Amino acid sequence: MDVFMPLLQGFDIAMGGWNLLYCLIGVTIGMLVGVLPGLGPTTGTALLLPITFSMDPIPAIIMLSGIYYGSLYGGTVTSVLINTPGEAASVTTCFDGYPMARQGRAGTALGVAGIGSFIGGTIAIIGLVFIGPPLAEFALKFGPPEFFALMILGLVLVVGLMGKSIVRGTIAAVVGLTLSLIGMDPISGTLRFTFGEPHLMEGFDFVTIAMGLFGISEVLLGLETAAHTGKPPKVGKLLPEREEWRPTLMAIARGTGLGCLTGLIPGSNAVIPSILSYTLEKKLAKDPSRFGQGAIEGVAGPETANNAYCGAALIPLFTMGIPSSPTIAVLFGAFIMHGLTPGPALFQSNPQFVWAVIASMFIGNFMLLIMNLPMAGMWGKIATVPSRILYPVIVIISVLGAYSVSGSVWDIWVMIFFGVAGYIMKKIDIPMAPVVLTFVLGKMIESSLLQSLMYFKGDFLGFFTRPIAGSMLVVAIILLVAGIVAGMKNKRSMLADDFEV
């Protein structure tokens, strides 16, 4: 399939009109979200989602996507300059980035991180360009049974990879599925779990849930741990020494591969490839003792991996309609909000939209490279904004955003409720990612299940008569059982250790 002409047309759209400006706004906000500790891509994207209500789909998704991958760039700055990760994926950057800054090499750490992020993100988007269309064409052969099996497999991976306990992950997934059932039945039109409340007839709105779980809950947590950060060090020379280029480029290459592969797995997040990359670089190093004391590979590899993951995670969204992480789930909600259905038909029904968004990611990555290298010192100063100023701004944005959903105070109270619920979930270590993902996918799972059962005349075993659907369900069952067994073994070993003590 020739992708060059559609991509060139996408660049023409992305560079024209207001789209280029919205790309710049998106990546700038993303940098700001990444720099400010405690926010992160999911919170930033959820908070800004209501702003796009009145926008056309192309500039809206371009801006939200820019916030997504821009925040991963921004998290690097605070990790290196003040030893505070702006978002979770940048935690590993603190291990060697901050020691490099204390040695007077903050500029070099930020330089290799910026270069690696640009390379990893760009290669992942190239992968989307070439893998996306044929994968989407293959997925067009899927019927309701295959989509049901695919979503179940994705949910099992989410439950297994999110959080420390498969039991907690399952609880979170069930909560999300239950919330998605509130409202009108998609087949019969029967009202469910509304308890006579008119506001619940159409179910909960995804925007209010997302802002509550990721915005308000972060404020409540941040009030507990708010601390004043010191003055960031000066940013000096940006490029590494001549003898450091080879190990740096090798780390970037390995980080790109890890990030791209991890991004294709539903349920993963940017933290996983970042940790895998750091572990791999330390194992391959001739002198592992350098790590933790300012090893340049310990910065280049993880930063490349998390940005490569970011681009690769869009492949399941665009081709299969499967959100593979919480932030992608928010983007999924934005697609639906603008009347677009992510999945295999998207490349055929809305090719201009698809290729314009993909082209904007190339442009946005280039913008971020420029913004990161010469302007790193400025972003470091922004990170020292006191929480007494930051948190009220987040609350105001959240309240206005919730109210703008339908012009009802009801949505504000729903957001506050889910904000408190999200805070409690984080305190007791129940992951929120399965809640969001299952809520987004819930109605799709229900519809595909009911359509499949109608086709199979009520026989659930009919799924296993379809090779693709049956294979995916078998894999899902094996993974679920393996996760339960592994959890039971870990619990027994912990109890045995406690008994010996």
Q: What is the arithmetic mean of pLDDT over 64-89? A: 75
Return the pLDDT at 222. Answer: 72
pLDDT digits (tens, 9 = 90+) for 293-306: 788 888 888 888 88
Nearest to 208 by CA among 402, 434, 422: 402
Helices 19-35 and 4-14 cross at an angle (nearest 10°) of 80
Between these two residues, 254 and 443, which has the higher pLDDT value? Answer: 254
- Is 163's pLDDT higher than 50? no
Quick: pLDDT tens for 226-275: 554 555 556 667 677 788 788 888 989 998 988 888 887 765 667 778 87
Most confident range, picked from 59-63, 87-91, 263-267: 59-63
Q: Quote the pTM value.
A: 0.73
CA distance 73 to 303: 8
Q: Measured between alpha carbons, how far is 361 from 122 in angstroms, rounded to an integer?
A: 8
Q: At what angle do helices 106-139 and 245-263 cross, to 10 degrees?
A: 30
CB contact at 8 A, 79 and 34: no
> In degrees rounded to 5, what are phi and psi of residue 192?
-130, 135
Exposure string (b/e) for 249-288, b if CB count within 10 Å is 16 or more? bebbbbbbbbbbbbbbbbbbbbbbbbbbbbebbbeebeee
Share of the chain above pLDDT 70, in %: 84
Res 239: pLDDT: 76
The b/e string for 82-117 (b: 16+ C-beta within 10 A; e otherwise) is bbbbbbbbbbbbbbbbbbbbeeebbbbbbbbbbbbb
Q: In this model, does residue 121 exceed pLDDT 60?
A: yes
Choose among 328, 327, 326, 306: nearest CA to 316: 328
